[in-house]
Chain A
Amino acid sequence: MKRFLYRALIALHPPRFRERFGDEMMCVFDESAASGNAKFFADGLLSLARQWLVRSGLWKVAAGAAVSALLLCGWALAFTRSVNRSLDRGLEVMAGNPAFFEPHTSLDEQEFEREAAQAIAILAEIRKAEKPKHSDAERQTQQHL
């Protein structure tokens, strides 16, 4: 069981290290079995962390990701602050100008309704003026027939 676990620990090492030293590490484990090799597990775990994090260059990827995340956070913070500042400035301008708060919309609506009513009245007059002409023409056609 211990041998199987140690082999699994070696198998988790980066391929470059495992292919070069994996068999030898297993050989040392087998040779030291009589004298006790319980400490080898702690050493194996440390070695695993060292090989992946330090020797394989994974730490560079992790550091790059951390720096990118920090830059992204900094940019997002600066952007949010800039938007907040613009909004504050806008609100200040609006607060300094009371015209912003007058009910423009209701005035516009009344004007629109008045103009619409005028337009409808004009259309009705046009129709009224056109209708008799049309009926005279129809009447003439019927008499002719």
Chain B
Amino acid sequence: MKDDLKKLLPLAPAALHILLSLAAEDRHGYGILQEVARQSRGQYELGPGTLYDNLEKLMRRGLVNDAPRRAASEDPRRRYYRLTSFGRRVLAADLERLRAVLKEAKAALPALESRGSS
């Protein structure tokens, strides 16, 4: 299973944001777009084409699956998506990788800054 995890890492930015948006709760497509914009403070905006292309890939790899509809009164075209336990592990592994990258970057930053100022 660990090998499966490694094969999927590093996650593409769109896939990382989508998994992150589904970490707290099940969401529909438009909800995911809004959550991604909120998380990135508007710096990363997904369009429906990119969103559903990535969702299809994530579903095929077993990281995301369909969730039941919340209310019958909702638009019937809306479908909800849910992070699977495997998807949660992949997300955690990628966040750990990013944490290590950030740590390295912070250690290297003073050296880079001093080179830039000289």
- Set of chain B residues within 8 Å of A24, measured between Cβ atoms: 28-29, 48, 52, 77-79
- B residues whose Cβ falls under 8 Å from a Cβ of A: 28-30, 33, 45-53, 55-56, 75, 77-79
Contacting residues of chain A (62-94) with chain B, CB-CB under 8 angstroms: none
- Cβ-defined contact, B49 with A27, below 8 A: no
Interface of A is mostly: helix
Indicate whether A55 reaches chain B with its CB closer than 8 angstroms. Answer: yes
User: Which of A23, A39, A42 contacts B77 (CB under 8 A)?
Assistant: A23
Interface size class of A (residues with CB under 8 A): 20 to 34
User: Which of B29, B50, B77 contacts A47 (CB under 8 A)?
Assistant: B50
Q: How many contacts between A and B, using CB within 8 angstroms? A: 65
Instruction: Give Cα A60 to B48, complex, Å.
Output: 26
- Cβ-defined contact, B47 with A44, below 8 A: yes
- Cβ-defined contact, B29 with A28, below 8 A: yes
Most A CB within 10 A of own CB, among B33, B45, B49:
B49
- Set of chain A residues within 8 Å of B52, measured between Cβ atoms: 17, 20-21, 24-25, 47
- Cβ-defined contact, B48 with A25, below 8 A: yes
Tell me how far the C-beta of A41 lies from the nearest C-beta in chain B, rounded to whole angstroms. Answer: 9
Tell me how far the C-beta of A144 lies from the nearest C-beta in chain B, rounded to whole angstroms. Answer: 117
Indicate whether A116 reaches chain B with its CB closer than 8 angstroms. Answer: no
Closest 4 CB pairs of A and B: A47-B49, A43-B47, A27-B77, A21-B52
- Set of chain B residues within 8 Å of A3, measured between Cβ atoms: none
